[in-house]
A and B are shown apart, each in its own frame.
Chain A
Amino acid sequence: MELEETLLPGVGVRYQMRTRSGQVLGIVVQREGGAEIAVFDRRDPDQARETFRLDAEEVDALAEVLGAPRLTQRFADLSREVPGLESARITVREGSPFAGRTLGDTRARTLTGCSVVAIVRGADVVPSPSPGDPLSAGDVLVAIGSAAGLEQLDRRLAGRE
């Protein structure tokens, strides 16, 4: 599968994907948060024949249905706009000292300067988790911060710091 990404200046980003079943799907993610999903014309593969227009709220609902990757993508975009800020997905591994404890116990923000913006647990996503949210082995933390801070957080979660 190939996801082709093109910048649409002034509008947003356009993604195009040819599925294994041979259909071409176009998605325009607009800067304002809305999106258009398009199915292309068979005779004119350059032209969007049917377009769905989604507002920001509907995009979020759809993204939740389709899972977490969309969320991480958005954080990646966010960090691209702010130089020096990066995002990472950090797994709480088996045997981590924080498995079974709460997010607040990691003291991630105080010690590493990183913000945990979501916890991905299998197909579930906990957006903007609070310090009281429990962590368990296998959880993936979506964090943003400096590169050094993210590395430090990774080490800390693994119990190496």
Chain B
Amino acid sequence: MDHVAALLLELGLLFLGLSALGLLARRLGLSPIPFILLAALAVGEGGVVPLANATPFLEAAAEIGVVLLLLTLGLEFSSTELFTSLRRHTPSGLVDLLLNGPPGFVAGLLLGLPWQGALALAGVTYISSSGIIARLLGDLGRLANRETPAVLSVLVLEDLAMALFLPLLVVALAGQGPMSAVAGVGLAVGAVLVVLLAAQRHGHRLGRLLSHDDDEQVMLRLIGLTLLVAGAAQAMGASAAVGAFLVGLALPASFAERARAILGPLRDLFAATFFVAFGLATDPAAILPVLPAALALAAVTTVTKIGTGWFAAKRDGVAVPGRLRAGTALVARGEFSIVIAGLAVAAGIPAVGPVATGYVLVLAVSGPVLTRFVEPLTGRMLRRAAPV
């Protein structure tokens, strides 16, 4: 069989498999991410379907997947939403960071990772999955709930923190001294602020530059610009992901909606290949030994995320049942934890991969289940407190 035939067959099987997994996940009301990870662990070298020919393609597609994930993350919220969240929910964002980052860092050190790996693990435990949570809130009919603005604001602040954390991590992983890490963060903060301010004043110009009646034109221009900026960011020693995120931020809200619609399917395709590539790069045998640690970490950071949601909802004057809903809704970790772990693995700390994989497998499933389960529970609490 020639190479092209083998490549196409492998990719065809892969995408059909992903489709079946997505269907299964949807049926169960869960995120497809853990299913894709599990499947990717099962295939690959020595697996059921060896993906030898597709691996180089998957690696390149995974890079594009990260870029598109971060681009659409930047498109997700406007600078107005960001500033509103900052004004109202900065304390919640700080509590989030202080409660959920350190457990990952400490666990990383306990597992014998270098401090850079521990830092990556701190990011893995800190960042909730906005993708899983936003969909979950919609599915459960909670968008109108009083605690929902607090939940979404925490997610926005996490996304902002990601923009600052990723360059910090990339600099740290590059193995340079702490001074260059500080400089890298300074640069990142400056760049994010400049882009946000410029977007508020001149964002519509960029939108006009990219917009066209034809969807194809919009897609090509947007992807072209994003890959250029991402590549330039990577070349300057920042991260391609950060560059893509900044492009997303800079686009005006009026254009972002169309961009999201056009990019959505493409993002889903490449993001799926990213999860597959990450799963392929992780040795399944390495997960078992660290599974107890991942489970313990998941347990601890479930509690700390519930604390975060509790605190954020309480600031909005929400009562106990709503605080529990907010807290449990935030537990799910997913795509961005994998993005962070992927950076660490690529930078030569492969030990982060198995822990992060186990951790995300557990929390991407248990988070949504937990917040579903908390609803009848609080209902029972209320009935006991105030019999009708």
Binding site for B on A (CB under 8 A): 6-11, 14, 16, 26-28, 30-32, 36-38, 43-48, 51, 78, 80-83
Q: What are 10 inter-chain pairs, A to B, with CB distance below 8 A?
A: A7-B85, A9-B76, A9-B84, A9-B85, A11-B134, A36-B143, A36-B144, A43-B382, A46-B147, A48-B145
- Is B321 a contact of A9 with CB atoms below 8 Å? no
Known: A7-B80, A10-B155. A47 touches B145 (CB 8 A): yes
- Is A48 a contact of B201 with CB atoms below 8 Å? no
- Is A9 a contact of B254 with CB atoms below 8 Å? no
CB nearest neighbor in A for B257: A31
- Is A43 a contact of B388 with CB atoms below 8 Å? yes
Cα distance A14–B142 in the bound complex, in angstroms: 11
Taking CB atoms, residues of chain B closer than 8 Å to A31 are: 257
Number of A-B residue pairs, CB cutoff 8 Å, is: 99
Check if B307 is an interface residue, CB within 8 A of chain A.
no
Cα distance A48–B144 in the bound complex, in angstroms: 6
Taking CB atoms, residues of chain B closer than 8 Å to A78 are: 254
> Could you say which of A6, A10, A45 contacts B130, with CB atoms under 8 Å apart?
A10
- Is A10 a contact of B156 with CB atoms below 8 Å? yes
- Is A82 a contact of B204 with CB atoms below 8 Å? yes
Taking CB atoms, residues of chain A closer than 8 Å to B382 are: 43-44
> Could you say which of B141, B200, B252 contacts A48, with CB atoms under 8 Å apart?
B141
Check if B148 is an interface residue, CB within 8 A of chain A.
yes
- Is B254 a contact of A10 with CB atoms below 8 Å? no
B208 to chain A, nearest CB (A): 10
Taking CB atoms, residues of chain B closer than 8 Å to A48 are: 141-145
- Is A46 a contact of B81 with CB atoms below 8 Å? no
Taking CB atoms, residues of chain B closer than 8 Å to A28 are: 143-144
Known: A32-B257, A47-B145. A9 touches B388 (CB 8 A): no
Check if B386 is an interface residue, CB within 8 A of chain A.
yes
> Could you say which of A7, A9, A27 contacts B155, with CB atoms under 8 Å apart?
A9
A110 to chain B, nearest CB (A): 22
> Could you say which of B85, B137, B144 contacts A26, with CB atoms under 8 Å apart?
B144
Cα distance A53–B19 in the bound complex, in angstroms: 27
List residues 150-194 of chain B with CB under 8 A from any CB of chain A.
152-153, 155-156
What 12 new A-B contacts, CB under 8 Å, besides A9-B153, A28-B144, A32-B257? A7-B149, A9-B76, A11-B138, A14-B149, A31-B257, A36-B143, A38-B141, A38-B145, A44-B321, A46-B319, A47-B322, A83-B200
Check if B339 is an interface residue, CB within 8 A of chain A.
no
B264 to chain A, nearest CB (A): 11
- Is B386 a contact of A6 with CB atoms below 8 Å? no
B70 to chain A, nearest CB (A): 15
CB nearest neighbor in B for A7: B84
Taking CB atoms, residues of chain A closer than 8 Å to B82 are: 9
> Could you say which of B130, B152, B321, B386 contacts A8, with CB atoms under 8 Å apart?
B152
Cα distance A78–B78 in the bound complex, in angstroms: 14
- Is A51 a contact of B156 with CB atoms below 8 Å? no
Check if B305 is an interface residue, CB within 8 A of chain A.
no
A10 to chain B, nearest CB (A): 5
A28 to chain B, nearest CB (A): 5
Check if B338 is an interface residue, CB within 8 A of chain A.
no
- Is B149 a contact of A46 with CB atoms below 8 Å? no
Taking CB atoms, residues of chain B closer than 8 Å to A37 are: 144
Cα distance A46–B204 in the bound complex, in angstroms: 37
Taking CB atoms, residues of chain A closer than 8 Å to B84 are: 7, 9
Taking CB atoms, residues of chain B closer than 8 Å to A11 are: 134, 137-138, 143, 148, 152
Cα distance A11–B155 in the bound complex, in angstroms: 12
Taking CB atoms, residues of chain A closer than 8 Å to B333 are: none
CB nearest neighbor in A for B138: A11
B153 to chain A, nearest CB (A): 6
Residues 313-328 of chain B: 1 if any A CB is under 8 Å from the residue's CB, otherwise 0? Answer: 0000011011001000
> Could you say which of B76, B149, B254, B321 contacts A47, with CB atoms under 8 Å apart?
B321
Check if B271 is an interface residue, CB within 8 A of chain A.
no
> Could you say which of A9, A51, A82 contacts B144, with CB atoms under 8 Å apart?
A51
Cα distance A147–B67 in the bound complex, in angstroms: 40
A74 to chain B, nearest CB (A): 13
Taking CB atoms, residues of chain A closer than 8 Å to B155 are: 9-10
Cα distance A48–B141 in the bound complex, in angstroms: 7
